[in-house]
Amino acid sequence: MYPTKGYTYTAPLRGRLSLLHEASGRIWKLTGDGPWTVGRSRDNTVCLQTDPYLSRRHGKIEVQSNVPFVVDLGTRTGLMLNDEPVTANPLKPGDIVQMAQTKFVFQGTIPPCFEDHYYRLPISIISRAM
């Protein structure tokens, strides 16, 4: 169990979290119970082979007691959260997660009214809805 810093969600988070890749605008909906892994290897939930400094399994996002956490998986280049190095830290909407040279925006929960059509909306509409 990781220490929390006071940010909790009231609704269940299962299958309702998302990550926005800053450079491409691609959105990953994190479905199921997790944990969700990020890295270069194709067996990760979020696979990015464009960053040569990203480890095969760089980090993960998991939920404990309805609080999402980002966790470094012991990589050389580490993990940053809002420009601060971390090994495990709770996430809140708008947090910038950097793994190697790759940045993601943690978007938190997908609004229930958008869940079925989330990926068909322009990013500007999704951002305003958050």
Token pair 């943690």: residue:
106
Q: Identity (one letter) of the amino acid at 102?
A: T
pLDDT digits (tens, 9 = 90+) for 78-128: 999 999 999 999 988 888 999 998 898 888 765 554 444 444 433 433 333
Q: Identify the pLDDT of residue 111.
A: 53
Q: Identify the pLDDT of residue 119.
A: 43
Whether the Cβ atoms of residue 28 and residue 44 lie closer than 8 Å to each other: no
Q: Identity (one letter) of the amino acid at 112?
A: P
pLDDT digits (tens, 9 = 90+) for 17-28: 788 887 788 888
The model's confidence at residue 7, banded by pLDDT at 50, 70 and 90, is low
Q: Provide the percentage of residues in the chain whose pLDDT is more than 70.
A: 71
DSSP state of 14: T
Higher pLDDT among residues 62 and 7, named by residue: 62
